[in-house]
Structure 1
């Protein structure tokens, strides 16, 4: 365990945020659990930080301790892949591919740590962590237990788990059931085609780079929190209205499974498509703005090098209000907002 000085601008991929009261780096699961337990016993507010790729943190001094998850390691145990929470997620993907294990190749290039993947059920290109997650090792902040819990206990859904926004537990380790194979899962961005695991990774990385979704120090389009808004799920009737209003064929829309004929039919729409049709093009609001939509992908809100948290929030609100006014659809942020009035932690 190491105490250090740092700001959230240096701990997050969006590169905004103020300074915590203290920053503690934990390099083992035991240190991580013990640190959180002690802070909870002392009634001290805290924020657990992995790769910092899903956080929007307020500026200025913050009355909380940043607990950095830095326990690393990947292993195979009885055919299951285990990764410590602080392991860089993309390293887990590489390990799996090198060992001929399929199931997470479509999640290549996603920034952040392994421990964050079940918290928001990370997904991309037709794959989600819930497809392969078997168990999660948690430090339960309510009971003090260090325990393995089944994935079924996490209420995993689209970009959601019952760990997100609740702070009820800290992920220490994850366990995945992957498949020995030479071919990838069907890849959505390739029209369902299956290719070798290595080819799948290469293709996903190329696609993500084209959208500014692979971290690059020199590219401000990657100074973001990834996809900032989740794709909204709306009644089919509203989807019909939007398609008719825009007047474009092939509007991206996908039926949501689970309807039994007694419930209103629902569909998932593309947040990026709605943002663009509501009058927010790539690079909005222009070159002089400190916070802009990515020049490569409208779903990313980016820091152009000197943005503040307030700049990011103002842009997010503007986009939310514009889409709501134009289409009657409320967009929900995907990242966790800290001390900013939405999904506040601690």
Structure 2
């Protein structure tokens, strides 16, 4: 897009560059149509200027790892975050600008013996996205270490640091998600400095529950686990052309969890039912979305060779673009799986990604 089509006040903003892009280039699913304008912002000031001056709706894009975007021409501007400064304090205080690659932040912390985010290794996307959906994996969440977030308030135009407690962080949720009330410019984390991980809480990681291990060991193990599930981006591996875990693990009343277990026992045997993953979640129970998908009759690679959108061949919680899919193909697959789990277990799976111009 030529500069003549850009609002003149944006043309003079330092650190801002207009770039003709498509969402297929900006997202890890490699799907989506074309925004009316793409604006790349290399500084926090450029982000604020873009958000202040753009005429019409806009979508802030970091690593694009959590977006499902419709095809075609989209009446919005893509504000692409490329501010990427990260500072590591000797006291364990880490500040990362929103456009920093998240796994680079984790790697930098681990190299310095800082603990607290090693279980979040290999997660694609940008640092600014981590508080929006309270990113988590292997028993750890960003809320465990997040102290404050620097935000641009879209309504008032103000920029300020807000404490993490103001974000209402919960399982894959914050009051930034879906609301578009503010844009994350920078995050601050408080990590430990003794070279050890946070107490381990996830069964797939070696060691006893509650054990603390060297951060480099935990990072290496997490990366190996994620690679085994196709959850570390590899350009040549279509199993990684995904939005990561597509559905959140459902939290249901105990009676529903009991009914699911009984249904599995009836159809697949008591031994399989006894292995059903279930974790306490307050007065309710968190179930495994991947386990439910498999037991509802959707194996890895569903619906089979040749389908443009398929479940990953490594992990049933990832919906993947096999190289020629459209957003419509992926959405149809998501609806098929969601309907199948609802029919089998009376449990409604909720998608984890943000949907743009489309819905499930």
Mapped partners of 2:174, 2:90: distance in 1: 26
Aligned partner of residue 333 in structure 1, secondary structure: coil
Aligned partner of residue 321 in structure 1, secondary structure: helix
1:186 Cα offset (Å): 3.1
Deviations 1:209-229 (A, max 9, x none): 000000000100000000000
The residue that corresponds to 1:20 in the other structure is 35
Mapped partners of 2:88, 2:136: distance in 1: 22
Match of 1:47 among 59, 72, 91: 59
The residue that corresponds to 2:71 in the other structure is 59
| Count, aligned residues | 332
Aligned CA RMSD, in angstroms, stands at 1.1
Match of 2:160 among 132, 137, 147: 147
The residue that corresponds to 1:261 in the other structure is none
Deviations 1:141-181 (A, max 9, x none): 01110100000000000000000001110000000010012
The residue that corresponds to 1:332 in the other structure is 350
1:182 Cα offset (Å): 2.3
1:185 Cα offset (Å): 2.1
1:77 Cα offset (Å): 5.1
Aligned partner of residue 101 in structure 1, secondary structure: coil
Aligned partner of residue 115 in structure 1, secondary structure: helix
- Greater shift in the superposed pair: 306-315 or 95-104: 95-104
Mapped partners of 1:252, 1:78: distance in 2: 39
Indicate yes or no: 2:109 matched with 1:96.
yes
Indicate yes or no: 2:213 matched with 1:195.
yes
Indicate yes or no: 2:208 matched with 1:184.
no
Kept in 1: contact 2:113–2:196 (CA 8 A):
no
Mapped partners of 1:176, 1:32: distance in 2: 22
Indicate yes or no: 2:143 matched with 1:130.
yes
Unaligned runs of 5+ in 1: 258-264
1:244 Cα offset (Å): 1.3
The residue that corresponds to 1:262 in the other structure is none
- TM-score with structure 2 setting the length: 0.91
Mapped partners of 1:245, 1:297: distance in 2: 23
Indicate yes or no: 2:310 matched with 1:292.
yes
Deviations 1:191-224 (A, max 9, x none): 5343211111100000000000000001000000
The residue that corresponds to 2:288 in the other structure is 270
Indicate yes or no: 2:334 matched with 1:323.
no
Deviations 1:270-306 (A, max 9, x none): 0000000000000000011100000000000000000
Match of 1:256 among 269, 276, 281: 281
Mapped partners of 1:222, 1:78: distance in 2: 35
1:245 Cα offset (Å): 1.2
Mapped partners of 1:212, 1:286: distance in 2: 17
- Greater shift in the superposed pair: 184-193 or 213-222: 184-193
Mapped partners of 2:108, 2:326: distance in 1: 36
- Greater shift in the superposed pair: 225-234 or 70-79: 70-79
Deviations 1:241-260 (A, max 9, x none): 11111012121001113xxx
The residue that corresponds to 1:283 in the other structure is 301
Indicate yes or no: 2:166 matched with 1:166.
no
Match of 2:264 among 234, 246, 249: 246
- Greater shift in the superposed pair: 106-115 or 246-255: 246-255
Unaligned runs of 5+ in 2: 1-15, 266-272
1:184 Cα offset (Å): 1.5
1:328 Cα offset (Å): 0.3
- TM-score with structure 1 setting the length: 0.94
1:312 Cα offset (Å): 0.5
